[in-house]
Amino acid sequence: MSLRSASILSILLFFLAAGCSGMGQSAEPTNDEPSGEQRTTVDGYTSQSAPIYIDGNGMDWDPVSVRQEEIGDAEGLDLERLWIAHTDRHLFLRLELGQSINLQEDNDVTLHLDADHDSTTGTSAMGAEVTWTFGGREGEVAGQEVGHADVGFHSLPTVTSDVFEIALDRSATPGGSTTLFQSDSLRIALSSDGDRLPDEDGGLGYVLTDASTEVESPDLDAPASAEMRIFSQNSVNNFDEEQSAIFDEERQPSYRRIIEAVGPDVIAFQEVYSQTAEETEEVVEGTYGRADGWEWAKEGQDLVLGSRYPIVDSHTIPGYEEYESGAFLLDASEALGSRLVVINMHPPCCNYDANEEHPARNVQRQRVADGVVAFIRSLKNGEGPFDVAPDTPIAIVGDMNFVGKAQQPETLQTGNIVYNEDFGPSEAPDWDGTALLDTNPRQTGAPMHATWASAESSFPPGRLDYAFVTDSVLEVVHDFVLNTATLSDQQRGTYGLQSADTATASDHMTVVIDVAAK
């Protein structure tokens, strides 16, 4: 350890011993330092523990100080502002850019970490042992190539934006032996084609502490105020065997444990391509032990819905060719005192470009979203296929595959239709003329809002599965994304779950919302 590093850590330990972790006066305040913020700055090195959630919203960053660079000084993408925080489990970054991009594709923004606080090791002038190029979805640790799972990398939003939240796992050991963070003192920098942050050489100094910062985690139990539990799951399809994962004998024990632990009242499955609603009913009520008497229906190519409440009607919503959505009208008067419309969606994945036969996937997804908004507009105006009273609650769930333009989830939430010539005028989808509530549930046991993860894929965990509701008439009293890997051993024991259950069941995690009538 260098003399400077020893000095920094000695001073920091003095603050901790005095019970002042995260407190102190900044010798050289960074730009836009919040008034009265609890933080430490020692010899130019900052340290700030904070309960951060990777949710794509950023409101929890308000108390965190920010480093701002000169705006408009870049020849290419402008790296404008950076926030840094940590807990005892993660290092968090929030990055603001000069333009909207897709962080996972088509950019060369690169994170550099001098993780052992030794400028003579690693690469570049600052001695970075860790690099991660966001658009390339690849990185290196001590000269070895690593993937997102090796460093516990998360980022949101998964759609285009000019602000992104990023997390790295402090306990990560890439390669099984190399510790990601070999020192508590770090130097942090970012670069892109034509810009860097900070503008000067050397990076930003930051010190990690072991101060435990409480992060709220949803539990699995529905609160007493909940009147209905809705469960959404992409039950990934095996096209070689022509069956959804819920019919796979090797995955079925995990599905049974998940369904038993969650105890849903309504189940929305995506990717049930080759099986019928009746076959789905047979496996869920038989193999998975759901009580007899549920009703099941299928719309579109792969959308199945099961309900303990009567399914009065169902309808296919046009989108783009075979990518249709399914609308299901439930008699939920027993629970909500009214009927309920549940819309199950599964727009196409990925960001493939246009070809001679099809438009780009962003266009296809947008048309699916436009179709759902048009359906809700017709429903509200008494023109839809369902005969519903005003203020009938509506819930939209499913694997949305929103990995491209932010306009797609914005359309579902606000009703802003893009292809008006085909789907008619835009209209706010809630009954009171406002936007829908994007529930954006959090994972159990982790400060992450990703709903999809695959260690084998180059794409990092992302938020692909959504749940929107008409919150003028429907209250979301509880919600969560079930990730059995992040539950404690005690929680898994309580609910009869195993660590690998969600990963075994699907690459998508289960989304659960508990609702009540307003």
Q: What is the token pair recorded at 131?
A: 């690099």
**Residue 455 and residue 462: Cα distance in Å, rounded?**
12
**Residue 425 and residue 303: Cα distance in Å, rounded?**
27
Task: Kindly indicate the confidence band of residue 176, based on its pLDDT and cuts at 50, 70 and 90.
Answer: confident
> Following CA atoms 477, 260, 54, 396 in sequence, which dihedral angle do they give, to the nearest 10 degrees?
-60
Q: Compute and round to an integer the Cα radius of gyration of the chain.
A: 24
Task: State which amino acid sits at residue 390.
Answer: P
Work out the angle at residue 224's Cα, subtended by the Cα atoms of residues 488 and 452, and round it to the nearest 5 degrees: 45
- The three-state secondary structure class of 312 is strand
Residue 213 confidence (pLDDT): 83
Look up the pTM and report it.
0.91
Task: Kindly indicate the confidence band of residue 440, based on its pLDDT and cuts at 50, 70 and 90.
Answer: very high
Residue 28 confidence (pLDDT): 36
What beta strand segments (E) does 346-456 contain? 394-399, 437-438
- DSSP annotation of 480 reads E
- DSSP annotation of 462 reads B
Convert the pLDDT of each residue in 92-118 to its tens digit.
999 999 999 999 999 999 999 999 888
Q: Please say if the pLDDT value at position 73 is more than 80.
A: no
Contact call for residues 286 and 339 (beta carbons, < 8 A) = no
Architecture of the domain delimited by 3-207: Sandwich (2.60)
How large is the average pLDDT for residues 216-226?
95
Convert the pLDDT of each residue in 292-302 to its tens digit.
889 999 999 99
Q: Please say if the pLDDT value at position 419 is more than 70.
A: yes
**Residue 225 and residue 218: Cα distance in Å, rounded?**
15
Q: Please say if the pLDDT value at position 123 is more than 90.
A: no
Q: For the chain, what are the domain ranges?
A: 3-207, 228-517
How large is the average pLDDT for residues 475-491?
97
**Residue 327 and residue 98: Cα distance in Å, rounded?**
40
Q: Please say if the pLDDT value at position 5 is more than 80.
A: no
Q: Please say if the pLDDT value at position 310 is more than 80.
A: yes
Task: Kindly indicate the confidence band of residue 337, based on its pLDDT and cuts at 50, 70 and 90.
Answer: very high
**Residue 262 and residue 229: Cα distance in Å, rounded?**
9
Residue 38 confidence (pLDDT): 45
Q: Please say if the pLDDT value at position 8 is more than 70.
A: no
**Residue 427 and residue 71: Cα distance in Å, rounded?**
37
How large is the average pLDDT for residues 175-184?
84
Contact call for residues 451 and 481 (beta carbons, < 8 A) = yes
Q: What is the token pair recorded at 162?
A: 């000019």
Convert the pLDDT of each residue in 196-210 to its tens digit.
999 887 889 999 999
Omega before 198 cis (within 30°)?
yes
Q: Which CATH superfamily is domain 228-517 in?
A: Endonuclease/exonuclease/phosphatase (3.60.10.10)
Q: Please say if the pLDDT value at position 24 is more than 70.
A: no
Residue 322 CA, chain-centre distance (Å), reads 26
**Residue 122 and residue 112: Cα distance in Å, rounded?**
10
Residue 120 confidence (pLDDT): 84
CA dihedral over 453, 458, 463, 465, signed as positive or negative: negative
Q: Please say if the pLDDT value at position 453 is more than 50.
A: yes
**Residue 160 and residue 141: Cα distance in Å, rounded?**
27
Buried b (16+ CB within 10 A) or exposed e, 415-432: bbbbbeeebeebbbbbbe
